[in-house]
């Protein structure tokens, strides 16, 4: 008996987002079989607290990578935003929410500076954002010197209203950070997939010269993606500061690898022109589930968690490179595996 699938169902099966959903389900099943506590709603949703920064930032780093760029300075901007918030509130008397806004504005300026050198000066994104990573980390340390509190201790004692940003749970189960992530994911999806701006981002990634000739201000588009990425890093830094209850300049130091991995695993090409917000969101959740489940269920030390994430990144990049090799594609056409157009 031959089973037939509708065209719509076939399209869903072929989508990378469907594969990512299967990966997440497989992770949940494996971890749950090993440790039944993994399926407890408070434990499962509570794990999002540790990965929410990766989830939020990766949404908007997707914009950067679709244009053909890369952003490895987001982690340093997380720390810079955190310490600016803390110093502005504790030492300069800012209202906590005004201090948060100041941190986001400062992050936007940092992203704009990097984006300017990339878009208008033609400097390689890797070089600029690598330099920006060191620069903004150093600025964060300088800002921490303005505080009466020693930098290694961090700034604490934040108002209860600010701490509630991470403590509140909807229905007593779902952390407020998850709600913020979902809202930002919807906004990012609409911006990238349903607006003219999003179409221009894709066109710049496919062919910047052609996009320029069609009347698109490609340099402004590229610069704007780095601003969006930096502001999202600032939002993540504010949420992380609320969750930890302390502001420090180095709280985002370990985020770079998981962020880039989430974007690439989500289906965004490192060469630009292709990517999706749903794919990145699912990939971020998959990575977060992996980083949470391994220590809980298999007693893997936190210091070794970058190893499976790094392996995952290499496998995805190498696998796609092999599948896209012209020789392999030609053989597939000859054998009838890929329809020849």
Helix (H, G, I), strand (E, B) or coil at 247: strand
Phi and psi of 279, rounded to 5°?
-60, -45
Per-residue model confidence as pLDDT tens digits over 85-133:
999 999 998 999 999 999 999 999 999 999 999 999 999 999 999 999 9
- The answer to which of 50-64, 190-204, 327-341 has the lowest mean pLDDT is 327-341
List of residues 6+ apart from 81 with CB closer than 8 A? 103, 104, 106, 107, 233, 234, 237, 238
Tokens of 339: 């329809």
Above pLDDT 70, what percent of the chain? 90
Q: What's the confidence (pLDDT) of residue 340?
A: 45
Indicate whether 336 pLDDT > 60.
no
Indicate whether 211 pLDDT > 80.
yes
Domain extent listing, the chain: 39-318
Q: What's the confidence (pLDDT) of residue 7?
A: 56
Above pLDDT 90, what percent of the chain? 54
Per-residue model confidence as pLDDT tens digits over 1-45:
444 445 554 455 457 888 889 888 998 899 989 888 887 877 777
Q: Is the dihedral of CA 318, 290, 273, 121 positive or negative?
A: negative
Indicate whether 308 pLDDT > 90.
no
Taking the C-alpha atoms of residue 268 and residue 215, their distance in angstroms, rounded to an integer, is 25
Phi and psi of 155, rounded to 5°?
-100, 125
On whether the CB atoms of residues 140 and 249 are closer than 8 A, the answer is yes
Q: What's the confidence (pLDDT) of residue 291?
A: 86
Taking the C-alpha atoms of residue 301 and residue 298, their distance in angstroms, rounded to an integer, is 9
Please, which pLDDT band fits residue 320 given cuts at 50, 70 and 90? low
Taking the C-alpha atoms of residue 229 and residue 212, their distance in angstroms, rounded to an integer, is 23
List of residues 6+ apart from 112 with CB closer than 8 A? 223, 226, 227, 230
Closest CA to 106 of 150, 127, 62, 136: 136
Per-residue model confidence as pLDDT tens digits over 126-180:
999 999 999 999 999 999 998 888 877 788 889 998 998 888 888 777 888 989 9
User: Is the pTM for the entire model greater than 0.85?
Assistant: yes
Indicate whether 338 pLDDT > 80.
no
Where do the H-state alpha helices sit in the chain?
7-14, 16-34, 41-46, 48-66, 74-90, 96-119, 125-144, 160-167, 176-193, 196-206, 208-213, 218-244, 256-265, 277-298, 306-323, 326-335
CATH 3.30.530 fits 39-318, yes or no: no
Q: What's the confidence (pLDDT) of residue 10?
A: 47
Of residues 247 and 325, more confidence is placed in 247
Average pLDDT, integer, range 322-331: 60
Please, which pLDDT band fits residue 204 given cuts at 50, 70 and 90? very high
């Amino acid at each position: 008996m031959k089973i037939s699938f509708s065209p719509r169902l076939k399209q869903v099966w072929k989508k990378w987002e469907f594969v990512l959903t299967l990966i997440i389900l497989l992770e949940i099943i494996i971890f749950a079989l090993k440790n039944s506590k993994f399926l407890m709603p408070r434990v499962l949703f509570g794990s999002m607290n540790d990965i929410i920064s990766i989830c939020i930032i990766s949404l908007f780093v997707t914009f950067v990578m679709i244009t053909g760029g890369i952003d490895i300075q987001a982690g340093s901007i997380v720390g810079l935003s955190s310490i600016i918030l803390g110093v502005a509130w504790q030492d300069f008397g800012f209202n906590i929410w005004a201090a948060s806004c100041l941190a986001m504005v400062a992050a936007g300026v940092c992203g704009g500076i990097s984006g300017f050198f990339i878009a208008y000066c033609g400097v390689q994104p890797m070089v600029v954002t690598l330099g920006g990573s060191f620069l903004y980390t150093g600025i964060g340390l300088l800002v921490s010197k303005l505080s009466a509190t020693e930098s290694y201790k961090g700034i604490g004692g934040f108002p209860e209203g600010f701490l509630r940003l991470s403590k509140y749970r909807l229905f007593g189960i779902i952390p407020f950070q998850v709600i913020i992530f979902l809202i930002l994911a919807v906004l990012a999806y609409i911006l990238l997939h349903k607006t003219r701006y999003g179409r221009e981002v894709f066109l710049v990634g496919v062919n910047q010269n052609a996009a320029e000739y069609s009347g698109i201000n490609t340099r402004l588009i590229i610069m704007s993606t780095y601003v969006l990425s930096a502001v999202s890093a600032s939002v993540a830094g504010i949420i992380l500061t609320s969750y930890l209850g302390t502001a420090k300049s180095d709280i985002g130091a370990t985020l770079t690898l998981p962020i880039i991995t989430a974007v690439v695993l989500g289906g965004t090409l490192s060469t630009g022109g292709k990517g999706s917000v749903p794919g990145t969101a699912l990939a971020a959740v998959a990575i977060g589930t992996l980083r949470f489940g391994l220590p809980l269920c298999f007693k893997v030390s936190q210091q070794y968690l970058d190893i499976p994430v790094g392996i995952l990144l290499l496998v995805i990049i190498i696998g796609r490179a092999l599948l896209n090799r012209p020789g392999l594609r030609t053989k597939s056409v000859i054998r009838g595996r890929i329809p020849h157009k």
